[in-house]
Amino acid sequence: MSVLVLSTTTMSIEAFLAGSPSTTQPPFVTAWADNNGVAFTEGELDGALNSANPVTIVAAPASGTRRIVRSVIIYNADTAAITITMRINNNGTYRILYKQTISPGDSFDWPSGIVAYGIDPTLYALTSYVDGKVLDSIADADTTHAPSRNSVYDALALKAPLNSPSFVTPALGTPVSGDFRNCSAPTTTEKGVTVYSGSTKALAGTDTASAMTPADVAAAIAVNANPKAMSQGVALTAATTGSNGIRAAHDARYANTTNSFGFAFNLLLPSYTTAAVLKNKFSGSSGVKLEQVVTSGIYRLTINTKTYDSTVPGGGAATNLVAGTKHNLAVFVTVGATTTTVSFYLDYVLLNTTAAQANETISNSDIIYLMGTSSTRTAGTISDFVMFNRAYTATEVADLRNGIAEADKWGSQTSLATGTDSNFSGAGNWINTACAIFDVNTTVPGKAYMLGDGGNDMIRLGVSTGNSRYFVSLKARRSAGAETTIYVGRSGSGSVGTSAFAITPTDTEQTFVGFFDTTNALYQSDPYGSPLYIGRAAAIGGFNGVSFEIDDVFIYKLGATLALESDNAQPIPGMWLDSSTNNLHAIYPAAGASLTRPKDSFVIRWVNTWAASHEAQYLGGIDQAMLPPKCCITSIVGVIAGSTIEDIILGDGSDTDHWVAITSGLAAGTVNFTIANAFSNLTNYKLVVDPDANFTGSITWTIRGYIYQ
């Protein structure tokens, strides 16, 4: 859905007609929300247009406020068609947003782009209009015309039943008990088949009496089989050699014996009964691979040498998925204390959970490939891929229909506890909340020492953890006392959101892993900003003479660690931008990939890092074109971290300084580079950065442009 933001006091939205209406000026209603950085305040305006004279339908916001325009509705109350124009007025500079002709009795509804819906009163049929044109007209007696996806959506939006205006005796006979299950027609053939809520009649493939007709099947496929129904997608052709799938960088917290994980696709395959590698991060006998198995169409997840299989979609000998239809596939791996299970979901519904197998240690730092491997490419279209560093419940999978949950934005590969906060080599950010003694690197060098006095004995990390879930790992040793449990999480009534670790023999250092959850009310009301606590739950009592030593604390935010969402797919041959904060941007294969919808602008994002070196590096990390043909670069921005770069150039793989000529003395900060050539030489589309002298640091690039005709 489109969104307009009025960001200055000089920006407003106006509308006007091409001329004067025959009888009546069109009324309008607009709605918006103002964001002043503290709160959102909703507002609206209604009125009427004034022929060809511009009327302000959304006024400019106040100073310091951003006005987010939600909707604009203009109704043609005239007897003839009208043409409306909607534009931005930025202090006298005008930008046309929309120009549309509207029939009498129809409405223009922005941002949906839908101009009108109507019911034909003579046919009692559903007629849908888009951009002023009839798209589908489906009458009651139309048994051969399968509705398109658009007409199905139109019907749902209207909630308009396709029924007669008054009841007459139907051809099936008069219902003897008030519903159509008991029509008086003499035969099943004449009655037809009616499926109603609570029906026990199965529509199985072997049920010839009530099997779906070809028209029924065509109607169902029409809703799912159109790649254009995807907001955006990446279509790939098949290649058995000489190519690769979509590649993304290695995720350092992808999987291990103590961390659950999962991923979800929206994809469309030309066949659901042929062998296909959907996701691959595998080398030798180590890693994770998801594939579709030939003939039966089941899904198989391989973790190292162990395999986990889904059941057959539909429950038969082979999948019931129709070739060329779009589906959501999700796989979540739950790692327990000693065993692992895998849950497969199809279209947000659980297929099955596998039998448990012994945990595996995954030591694989290979690149992630989607729709193929490092040497093959799988045919199909993928519109979304999200990877998580925790397992989802069935309810959470169902909620993925609405996108990634806010609490799961974003999972992190970087521990909140680093350096002195992790190894206690210095004071760091740890705070003594209620311990009798808390010291760092003194009583026990290189460790934190805690002594309880019977109160609510805790230490806390003075770093906000926010509204999310976390994975924690630490080492602890009980050096005195008889306490048997240490808590990690938040202290409070009922110890909500904590993990309890059992402490066994004195003088034995143990490693603990667990989770704590800050999405509950106790964390949200915490005066310290929901930090991590280590200690004894207040509801149970203090340590009272018990001492602990703590070391090597690591805290990772759980959630989506890689999010390739449809809107962030850039034109081929560029990259698919990662929505998460981890910037694991994916690179398309050099050939065999295309977008399902055209796109005339592009963004390249990448980070290049050097450690006391100055070798030339590719943006994208691979010797491959990143820019689309007929590209025009409009801006090159680099954020420099580390030491000063003496000299730097940016070339196209042939001309070493084609894009950016030599630039000297770049200190840490943001640089808007001068563009040497905005256009390519129509042959080379690579991006190669080359410092002239040794440099320790990084450059985070954002390159924008458009594709000219």
Q: pLDDT, tens digit, for every residue of 332-362? A: 999 888 899 999 999 999 999 999 999 888 8
Please say if the pLDDT value at position 153 is more than 70. no
Residue 603's SS3 state is: strand
Strands annotated E in 380-509: 380-388, 430-432, 437-440, 448-451, 458-461, 469-480, 485-489, 499-502
Please say if the pLDDT value at position 630 is more than 70. yes
Alpha-carbon dihedral of residues 273, 278, 284, 286, nearest 10 degrees?
Answer: -120
What span, in angstroms and rounded, lies between the C-alpha atoms of 263 and 527? 35
Handedness of CA 564, 565, 570, 572 (dihedral sign): positive
Handedness of CA 541, 544, 548, 550 (dihedral sign): positive
- Tell me the pairing of strands 40-48 and 82-90: unpaired
Fold of the 600-707 domain: Jelly Rolls (2.60.120)
Average model confidence (pLDDT) across the chain: 81
Predicted confidence at residue 214, as pLDDT, reads: 57
The pTM of the whole model exceeds 0.85:
no
Best CA proximity match to 370, nearest among 307, 281, 269, 301: 281
CB within 8 A of 519, min separation 6: which ones? Answer: 407, 467, 468, 469, 497
- Over pLDDT 70: what percentage of the chain? 76
- Please report, as a single letter, which amino acid is at residue 210: S
Fold of the 420-558 domain: Jelly Rolls (2.60.120)
Predicted confidence at residue 544, as pLDDT, reads: 60
Please say if the pLDDT value at position 199 is more than 90. no
Predicted confidence at residue 131, as pLDDT, reads: 42
Of 204 and 458, which is predicted with more confidence?
458
pLDDT tens per residue across span 214-246: 555 555 555 555 555 567 999 999 999 999 999
What span, in angstroms and rounded, lies between the C-alpha atoms of 658 and 649? 8
Contact between 60 and 52 under an 8 Å Cβ cutoff? The reply is no
Q: Which two tokens stand for residue 321?
A: 């998925």
- Tell me the pairing of strands 575-578 and 368-370: unpaired
Please say if the pLDDT value at position 268 is more than 80. yes
Best CA proximity match to 580, nearest among 441, 449, 708, 410: 410
Provide the CB-side half-sphere exposure for 353 (13 A, CA): 11
**Can you list the alpha helix ranges (DSSP code H) found in 293-423?**
394-399, 420-423
- Over pLDDT 90: what percentage of the chain? 52
Contact between 272 and 326 under an 8 Å Cβ cutoff? The reply is no
CB within 8 A of 293, min separation 6: which ones? Answer: 275, 299, 300, 309
| β-strand partners of 353 | 343
Please say if the pLDDT value at position 168 is more than 70. no
Of 197 and 47, which is predicted with more confidence?
47
Please say if the pLDDT value at position 132 is more than 70. no
Predicted confidence at residue 596, as pLDDT, reads: 94
What span, in angstroms and rounded, lies between the C-alpha atoms of 655 and 355? 57
Handedness of CA 136, 142, 146, 147 (dihedral sign): positive
Give mean pLDDT, residues 560-571.
Answer: 95
Cis amide prior to 445 (ω within 30 degrees): no
Best CA proximity match to 649, nearest among 690, 678, 620: 690
What span, in angstroms and rounded, lies between the C-alpha atoms of 173 and 499? 66
Contact between 190 and 172 under an 8 Å Cβ cutoff? The reply is yes
CATH for 234-405, options being 3.40.30.10, 1.10.3720.10, 2.60.120.200, 3.20.20.70: 2.60.120.200
CB within 8 A of 337, min separation 6: which ones? Answer: none
